[in-house]
Amino acid sequence: MQRIQRQLRPARAAAAALLLLSALAAGCREEPAAVVESARSALKSGDDEAFLALCEPSAADLLRRGELVQKRSGRVFKVLRDGKPTTTLLPKGDVGEVVESGQRAVVELRKGDRKELVPLRLVRGQWRIDLLEMDSFLQAMQPRDD
């Protein structure tokens, strides 16, 4: 019996260490509203990599590969063609309601009577902006009849 207990000690210690590490990682996570504010600051200062680091990885990868995308129309793929995120990717306005639900969060941005939603997902324990789920991003990608 003592032999079995001695064999279980390393497994218990490893489980306790894993639990402690995940608790620490969750405690270091920025709030969703802070992620949106940091992303807007990065865009404003032209720090593309800081902005992309705050985006959901598949959206960030799409933007990083932008220079490889063939030009199809003047405006539709401008962000992709230039490979450079601009301030138009995130809505303007003040942070309103923030709703967290498991692996997802939504930050409401209000400007006057208008409100826009910025969705985020937990990626490896950190909140990341999910551009591909954001209405304003998808609208910016729509072709226009100019």
The 10s digit of each residue's pLDDT in 87-131 is: 777 888 999 999 999 999 999 999 999 998 999 999 999 999 998
In the chain, the N- to C-terminal Cα span, in Å, equals 80
pLDDT at 72: 43
CB atoms within 10 A of CB 58: 13
Residue 139, phi then psi, degrees to nearest 5: -65, -40
Q: Please, are residues 22 and 76 in contact by the beta-carbon 8 Å criterion?
A: no
pLDDT at 35: 95
Read off the pLDDT of residues 36-60 as tens digits, 9 standing for 90 and up. Answer: 999 999 999 999 999 999 998 888 8
Read off the pLDDT of residues 57-79 as tens digits, 9 standing for 90 and up. Answer: 888 887 877 655 544 444 555 66
3-class DSSP state for residue 104? strand
**Token representation of residue 101:** 């639900």
Flag whether pLDDT at 18 surpasses 70.
Answer: no
* pTM score, whole prediction: 0.53
Q: Length of the chain in residues, anyone?
A: 146
Flag whether pLDDT at 143 surpasses 70.
Answer: no
Q: Please, are residues 85 and 67 in contact by the beta-carbon 8 Å criterion?
A: no
Contacts by residues 17-24 (CB-CB < 8 Å, ≥ 24 positions apart): 22/125
Using alpha carbons, list the distances in angstroms from residue 30 to 15, 90, 115. 25, 18, 23
